Amino acid sequence: MLVKKSLGFTLLEVLITMTIIGILTAVATPSFITFIKRDRLVTNSNQLHSVFKFARSEAIKRDQSVSIKTLNKQWLVKTAINSTQTTLNIFETTHSSISVDLKNINISSTGELGQMYQILVSDKDSTTGDFTLCILQSGQSWLVEAPETC
């Protein structure tokens, strides 16, 4: 007599597998959400830093002052081209949970500023560390993560 071999899974095997997947998902979800929040902060901080470095390099390259102005939660890099104020670059946050303490900054043709600036990038969530863009009067800049200070 020939016995047919069954191909497939039993209901019990499927239920056990689904239970294990459910438990692993429940354990991984909180750390994945924290990862996403931190990634948003890092991305916005790096973009902010990049826009500042762009503005400074444009001031030096063009041998004229460049201003960074705030307008409706945006940071506009502006300079005079043919006697007209022209926007060269724009920074705005990529997610509504991110807030940036934007400031108006004037950069001289040598890349120097009138004072030191500290610009906070935050999501107002205690589970993630905020970032600060530190800008010296000389124009040097870097990012620090809380609780470090400039």
In tens, the pLDDT along 121-148 reads 999 888 888 999 999 999 999 999 988 8
Quote the distance between the C-alpha of residue 72 and its chain's center. 18
Q: What percent of the chain has pLDDT over 70?
A: 96
Rg of the chain over Cα atoms, rounded to whole angstroms, equals: 25
DSSP calls for 23-69: HHHHHHHHHHHHHHHHHHHHHHHHHHHHHHHHHHHHHHHHTS-EEEE
Q: Please state whether the peptide bond connecting residue 30 to the residue before it is cis, i.e. omega within 30 degrees of 0.
A: no
**pLDDT, tens digit (0-9, with 9 covering 90-100), for 75-93:** 999 999 888 899 999 999 9
pTM across the whole model? 0.80
Closest Cα partner for 48 from 78, 27, 74, 26? 74
Question: Which tokens is 112 given?
Answer: 């120097």
Question: Which tokens is 46 given?
Answer: 């790096």
Question: What does the pLDDT read at residue 4?
Answer: 67
Predicted confidence band of residue 8 (pLDDT cuts 50, 70, 90): confident
